[in-house]
């Protein structure tokens, strides 16, 4: 689990400054993992928010050949689809210095969801504690693919399985996502959000404290994920 402590709010006045500071923090954690254990594991999220951050990370002078990158969740689409998180990560992060990083796909068996889930479970069972889990948050307070509108939300919050399939009612595509317990199995957790609208959603989530209505709460509080934000 993450180190003991409460989540912290880390505000910045500009998005570029936020991205630079967050990239430096991620690189530091990965470097510590490589030095201490010979390898490091980085979990990231898709969407438009982390694109500039990914470009900064891609140029970081660390031994990327010792880093494994994977996504917190993925839409059930082909890896070439415009809505594929994997496509985004490959184009924006696994470039420049980071081309030597290993990548664990969440859709390695695209034609069979259950077989894909079984393979992922096997792969994750031998992956140790993550070094960094970097999450986003949607305007409905979802994180990863733990949606308040998904019938599988309670399972995702309580299961001891590492990965599951979700079917959000009001968001496109079937999803595959890491569970709460696997997301929390990290040395460092970070939430990356921008804009006043997201801040209002975050504030409402904190006030509610309810994981079922505001799933971002699953990684807040005692879970220890800090929130990095800029307008």
Q: pLDDT-based confidence at 192, cuts 50/70/90?
A: very high
Q: Is residue 1 part of a domain?
A: no
**pLDDT value of residue 199:** 97
Q: Is residue 210 part of a domain?
A: yes
**pLDDT value of residue 5:** 57
**pLDDT value of residue 6:** 84
Count structural domains, the chain: 1
Q: Is residue 174 part of a domain?
A: yes
**pLDDT value of residue 176:** 97
Q: Is residue 98 part of a domain?
A: yes
Q: Is residue 4 part of a domain?
A: no
Residue 180 pLDDT > 70, yes or no? yes
**In sequence order, what are the residues at sequence separation of 6 or more whose Cβ sits closer than 8 angstroms to the Cβ of residue 175?**
73, 74, 75, 76, 145, 147, 150, 165, 166, 167, 168
Question: Which sign, positive or negative, has the C-alpha torsion 21, 25, 28, 34?
Answer: negative
Q: In what order do the strands lie in the sheet with 73-75?
A: 73-75, 175-178, 163-166
Cα-based distances in Å from 104 to 6, 113, 205 = 30, 16, 31
Express each pLDDT in 94-142 by its tens digit: 999 999 999 999 999 989 989 999 999 999 999 999 999 999 999 999 9
Q: pLDDT-based confidence at 144, cuts 50/70/90?
A: very high
**pLDDT value of residue 222:** 85
**Whole-number percent of the chain with pLDDT over 70:** 98
Express each pLDDT in 3-30 by its tens digit: 335 899 999 999 999 999 999 999 999 9
> Any idea what the CATH number is for the domain that residue 212 is in?
3.40.50.1360
Q: Is residue 130 part of a domain?
A: yes
Q: Is residue 3 part of a domain?
A: no
Residue 44 DSSP one-character state: E
Distance, CA of 181 to chain centre: 13
Residue 1 pLDDT > 60, yes or no? no
Q: Is residue 2 part of a domain?
A: no
Express each pLDDT in 52-85 by its tens digit: 999 999 999 999 999 999 999 999 998 889 999 9
Domain limits for position 66: 9-230
């Amino acid at each position: 689990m993450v180190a003991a402590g409460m989540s912290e709010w880390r505000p910045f006045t500009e998005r570029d400054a936020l991205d630079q500071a967050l990239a430096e923090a991620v690189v530091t954690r990965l470097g510590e993992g490589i030095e201490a254990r010979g390898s490091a594991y980085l979990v990231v999220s898709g969407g438009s928010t982390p694109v500039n951050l990914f470009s900064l990370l891609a140029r970081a002078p660390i031994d990327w050949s010792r880093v494994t990158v994977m996504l917190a969740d993925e839409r059930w689409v082909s890896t070439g689809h415009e809505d594929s998180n994997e496509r985004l990560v490959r184009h924006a992060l696994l470039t420049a210095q980071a081309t030597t990083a290993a990548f664990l796909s969440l859709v390695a068996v695209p034609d069979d969801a259950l077989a894909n889930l079984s393979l992922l479970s096997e792969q994750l069972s031998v992956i140790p504690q993550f070094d960094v889990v970097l999450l986003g948050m949607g305007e409905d307070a979802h994180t990863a693919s733990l949606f308040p509108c998904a019938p599988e939300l309670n399972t995702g919050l309580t299961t001891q399985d590492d990965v599951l399939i979700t079917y959000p009612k009001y968001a496109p595509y079937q999803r595959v996502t890491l569970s709460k317990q696997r997301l929390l199995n990290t040395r460092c957790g970070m939430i990356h959000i921008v804009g006043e609208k997201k801040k209002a959603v975050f504030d409402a989530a904190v006030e509610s404290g309810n994981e079922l209505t505001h799933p971002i709460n699953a990684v807040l509080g005692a879970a220890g994920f800090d929130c990095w934000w800029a307008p």
